[in-house]
Amino acid sequence: MCDRNGLMAALQQQQLQKVLDTNRQSEQYGLTLTQKDAEQLMVGRKQVLEAQRRVELRQSILPVLVETFCSSPYLNQQNYLETLLRLQEIFFCYKNEMLDEITDEELLHFMREQFDTVCYGDLDYLEGTCLEVFAQAVRAGYQGHRLGGGTGVFGQFDLVTRWDRQLYLDTLQELLGWR
C-alpha cells in the first residue's frame, strides 16, 4: 500500500511541476502561477473530475489548457488563476456534453477562438451560449469541426447578429447623404 501511495504522490508532484513549467511560456504575456496557484489548480482539477465523473488517463489537460489560453488578450495576472479554474470546469463539462465526440485539441481550439472573438473574454457567454450551441450540433452529428481542428466553425451556429463596422459606416454615410 505504501508503494501505491508513494507512486500516486510522485505522479501528482510530476503533474504539479508540469503546470509550473507552463510559466516559461506564460511569462512573456505577464502571467505566472505560484506553487500555491498550481496546487489550487490541481485541487480544482480533482474536484471537477469527480463532479463530472471523469478520469484522465493520459497527462493532465492543465498544461495544455494554460498553453492554449495564456496569450489571450483577456487574461491578466489578476484574473489568471480564477479564469484557468473556470476554463478547466467548462472544458470537462463540455467533454461530457459532447459525448467525447470531439478531441481535447478541437475543444480547446474552439474554446479559445470563441473566448477571444465572440465572447470577448466572457466565460459565462462561452459556457452558456457558444459551447451550448456547439454541443447541441455535435450531439446531433455535426463533424465539420474536424476539418479545421475546432476553429472557424461557430459562425454556422451563431444566432446573434454581430456588429459590422464597415456596414455601420456605409449605412451612416448613406443616411447622412455623404455618398
Q: What is the pLDDT of residue 146?
A: 67
Report whether pLDDT(81) > 80. yes
Within 10 Å of residue 27's Cβ, how many Cβ atoms?
11
Contact 133, 157 (CB under 8 A): yes
Q: How far apart, in whole angstroms, are the C-alpha atoms of residue 127 and residue 11?
A: 31
Q: Where do the structural domains in the chain lie, given as residue ranges? A: 1-95, 98-179
Phi-psi region of 166 (alpha: psi -120 to 50; beta: other; left: phi over 0): alpha
pLDDT at 136 over 80: yes
CA distances from 160 to 11, 48, 118 (A): 45, 30, 10
Higher pLDDT, 109 or 54: 109
**Residue 74: pLDDT over 80:** yes
Chain segment 108-129, per-residue pLDDT in tens = 999 999 999 989 999 999 999 8
Query: Which carries the bigger pLDDT value, residue 169 or residue 95?
Result: 95
User: Is 24 strand, coil or helix?
Assistant: helix
pLDDT tens-digit series, residues 99-110: 888 899 999 999
Give the orientation angle of helix 62-69 with respect to helix 35-51, to 10 degrees: 110
Most confident residue range from 43-47, 55-59, 82-86, 162-166: 82-86
**pLDDT tier for residue 153 given thresholds of 50, 70 and 90:** low
pLDDT of residue 60: 81
